[in-house]
Amino acid sequence: MAPTPGNRVPQGLANDRLGLLYALLQQFGLQRWSQYVRQHWSGQRLVIAIPWVWLFLFFVVPFLIVFKISFSEIRLAMPPYAPLFEWLEEGKRLVTTLNLGNYAFILSDNLYISTFAYSLKVAAVSTLLCLLIGYPMAYAIARSTPTARSLFLMLIILPFWTSFLLRVYAWVGLLKTDGVINNTLLAVGLIDAPLTLLYTDLAVYIGIVYSYLPFMILPLYANLEKHDLTLLEAAADLGARPFKAFLRITLPLSVPGIVAGCLLVFIPAVGEFVIPSLLGRADQLMIGRILSDEFFANRDWPVASAVAIVMLLALLLPIMLFQRYQRLELEAAKR
Amino acid sequence: MAEKLIDRSNEYIRIEGVTKRFGDFVAVDNVSLNVYKGEIFCLLGGSGCGKTTLLRMLAGFEAPTSGRILIDGQDMADIPPYERPVNMMFQSYALFPHMTVAANVAFGLEQEGLARSEIDRRVGEMLDIVKLGDFGRRKPHQLSGGQRQRVALARALVKRPKLLLLDEPLGALDRKLREHTQFELINLQEQLGVTFVVVTHDQEEAMTLASRIGVMNKGQIVQVGTPTEIYEFPSSRFVADFIGSVNMFDGQLVEDEPGHVRIRCPELESMVYVSHGISAAPDAKVSVAIRPEKIEMTRTAPESSENRARGVVKEIAYMGDMSVYLVRLESGRMVRVTIPNIERHDERIVWEETVHLNWHPSSPVVLSQ
């Protein structure tokens, strides 16, 4: 089709309109805006801002709310606690009611103290067991061939594909009086009467160790895998037998991995709720259970908040340790 | 450098027909070798020639697939590394990063179960010897490369081994430090009377350090000899080529007498006359190797009718102490000639000048092909 003046004019118009639109976009649009961001915000600051905003919105703000509630008095109302600040006499007088009674109550009631102690004990023992089981596993994985290594790591991570709740519940079936373990032992003839396995401390340990073992193995593996094996050759060359070389070289160099693994197990284990509820004793609760009971059964939000704050303070020390070691390892890696 | 006297009655290491295979790959191929007490023996070769594997077999980190290794008359077959009277300095130094310098050096003595006071005394002595007396409390990462190298050396020597294995001991050091450390190593070795086996790919390092060199290629030892023997009398084209640079001409034996030989090389205009006899079949195809520094380059034609060539200077590389000339012969063949720059302002030969080359009848090395 031959071009005629008639159809050339609208094209020119269209081009002009597009050009105008483009110029407007240039002036006020995305490009201009992104240019502004690029010039005035450094990329590093932007990247760091994302976790900061996240932590502020979902950790600092809720923490402050909980902290505030822990100083309130319980009220049969909605929400079920007294406000800290109240304007009385039509906004002429500000009344502050700071109530330390919740903390005094927690510290004076033996139930809370013993629950805290029990939770810390369970978490500590479980962490130790995880370390004793996880270290040899991590070591073996780190020293195996690259193909075997990825297979083993896959197997370690595989249980996460199933729901945590489901995996813990499966242990009920294994441990109960007519469960798989008891039935097998009875059938083999090792025992005459079924063992009490479920609803014991042992069951809680099994549950926690089973659930948290990957969190011990993975950081340990990440550390052990980086080790320079010529150091062990050097130790052997200098007269150290393999076990001695392990104690003097491998073990000290893996301390950052041990610390990371222990904290990743210990911190969530202290507040563990599901495992002791499903597998544990009825007469000895863990702190996570107390927390949920106070909140949902008693509807005593202030006391529950105080329990949460005390627990947080008790865990702050290990968290700070963890961060210190992370920093040390980061510095070591930079060298 | 001057050759050291080697006491050949005092054999310390005997390697008998040692082969090491990794799957299908033969890393060390039927190597037999003796190392004598108190010498510095260098294993020299390119990467992948098996020199490090041989060293690791001496240390006990690898077991020979076949053959025997005897150290001080004792078969090493069933002796693990931690029981061998051998210490090794690793290429990466392998210093323990979590220990101080003093703790690194003390590690080996602690394994012997010595008293703390004895350990401290010997560590202090050793650190003084390697001039690190004030660095005992530092961690390895706080040291320079040269200092780390000396810590590694101190750690290996403090156990007073009879045999020290060194894997590329100077590889990580810069040139100036290397030269300095080479002589320090030799002094230390003489002072302590330790036998050194050094692995290196650097021929200069081997030449300076070694009392004897074993040149390796493809898992085999191709020549063993003093640095002079290796350089002046290479036994094969590989060795001649690998050590230093060389001009290699293919030719044919035309006159074979007990006192001299004549060789015709198509690339050279004159006969090559060599003033010593060789053992080769008459009319054999041979190679003639002439080192660049043994060729004289003149503007006027030499008097002799043999051992000469004529060409045009095509490239000049000024190296400071000497200059390297590339001369194109009439046959088109490039010849490398090095001339020491003795005077500062002489009338040096320049590009595109026609020059005459000649060499002494004792200079060429005749190699069978």
Q: B150 with B132: CB under 8 angstroms?
A: yes
Q: Could you report how far apart the first and last alpha carbons of chain B are, in Å?
A: 31
pLDDT of residue B212: 95
For B16-27, what is each residue's pLDDT tens digit? 999 999 999 999
pLDDT of residue A2: 45
pLDDT above 70: residue A333 = no
pLDDT of residue A31: 65
pLDDT above 50: residue A143 = yes
Contact A237 B112 (CB under 8 A): no
The pair of structure tokens assigned to A5 is 């003046």
The pair of structure tokens assigned to A129 is 């067991």
Q: B337 with B292: CB under 8 angstroms?
A: yes
Domains in chain A and their CATH numbers?
A: 101-334 (1.10.3720.10)
pTM (2 d.p.): 0.79
Rounded CA-CA distance B61/B53 in Å is: 9
Residue B163: closest CA among B228, B99, B79: B79
Q: Phi then psi for B34, rounded to 5 degrees? A: -120, 140
Query: Where is pLDDT greater, at B287 or B177?
Result: B287
Q: DSSP for B140-197, please give it.
A: GGGS-HHHHHHHHHHHHHTT--SEEEEESTTTTS-HHHHHHHHHHHHHHHHHHT-EEE
pLDDT of residue A97: 74
Nearest to A335 among B111, B141, B156 (CB): B141
For B158-184, what is each residue's pLDDT tens digit? 998 989 999 998 877 788 888 888 888
Domains B11-241 and B246-368 share a fold: no
pLDDT of residue A7: 44
Nearest to B108 among A230, A238, A335 (CB): A238
For B47-104, what is each residue's pLDDT tens digit? 889 999 999 999 999 999 999 999 999 999 999 999 999 999 999 999 999 999 999 9
Q: Which of A310-319, B185-194, B282-291 has the lowest mean pLDDT?
A: A310-319
All residues of chain A having their beta carbon less than 8 Å from the beta carbon of residue B105 are none
Rounded CA-CA distance B222/B207 in Å is: 16
**Residue A30 banded pLDDT, cuts 50, 70, 90:** low
pLDDT above 90: residue A140 = yes
Helix (H) or strand (E) holding B21: strand B11-22
For B238-273, what is each residue's pLDDT tens digit? 999 898 889 999 998 888 888 888 999 989 888 899
Site from B55, B62, B88, B104 to mutate, A interface, most A CB atoms within 10 angstroms: B88
- CA–CA min distance B107, chain A (Å): 7
pLDDT above 80: residue A20 = no
Rounded CA-CA distance B139/A73 in Å is: 57
A235 vs B: CB within 8 A:
yes
3-state SS track over B36-81:
ECCCEEEEECCCCCCHHHHHHHHHCCCCCCEEEEEECCEECCCCCH
> How many beta-carbon pairs below 8 A join chains A and B?
61
Pairing of strands B272-274, B285-290: unpaired
Q: CA B105: distance to chain centroid?
A: 29
A12 vs B: CB within 8 A:
no
Phi-psi region of B226 (alpha: psi -120 to 50; beta: other; left: phi over 0): beta
pLDDT above 80: residue A334 = no
* Residue B296 CB-density burial (10 A; 0-12 exposed, 13-18 middle, 19+ buried): middle
Nearest to B111 among A228, A240, A249 (CB): A240
CATH class held by domain B246-368: mainly beta
Rounded CA-CA distance B109/B114 in Å is: 6
Q: CA A26: distance to chain centroid?
A: 46
The pair of structure tokens assigned to A207 is 């549950």
Rounded CA-CA distance B246/A30 in Å is: 68
Q: DSSP for A267-321, please give it.
A: HHHHT--HHHHHHS-SSS--HHHHHHIIIIIS--HHHHHHHHHHHHHHHHHHHHH
Rounded CA-CA distance A82/B82 in Å is: 73
**Rounded average pLDDT over A273-293:** 89
Helices (H), A29-100: 30-40, 43-55, 61-69
All residues of chain B having their beta carbon less than 8 Å from the beta carbon of residue A244 are 111
For A67-118, what is each residue's pLDDT tens digit? 998 988 887 777 788 777 777 777 777 777 778 888 888 888 888 889 989 9
What are the distances in angstroms from CA B346 to CA B232, B313, B353? Answer: 30, 17, 16
Indicate the domain borders of chain B. 11-241, 246-368
pLDDT of residue B343: 76
Rounded CA-CA distance B67/B73 in Å is: 15
Nearest CA in chain B to A244: B111
Contact A235 B112 (CB under 8 A): no
Which residues of chain B have a Cβ shorter than 8 Å from any chain A Cβ?
Answer: 59-61, 80-83, 86-88, 90, 92, 94-98, 107-108, 111-112, 141, 155-156, 159
A230 vs B: CB within 8 A:
yes
pLDDT of residue A124: 95
Nearest to B94 among A234, A240, A248 (CB): A234
Query: What is the architecture of the domain spanning B11-241?
Result: 3-Layer(aba) Sandwich (3.40)
pLDDT of residue A109: 87
All residues of chain B having their beta carbon less than 8 Å from the beta carbon of residue A231 are 94, 96-97
Number of helices followed by number of strands (H, E) in chain B: 8, 20
Site from B52, B71, B95, B107 to mutate, A interface, most A CB atoms within 10 angstroms: B107
Q: Report the share of chain B in percent with pLDDT over 90.
A: 63
Type of residue numbered A41: W
pLDDT above 80: residue A261 = yes
Contact B94 A244 (CB under 8 A): no
Contact B87 A236 (CB under 8 A): no
What are the distances in angstroms from CA B65 to CA A241, B20, B68, B174, B219? Answer: 24, 5, 9, 37, 13
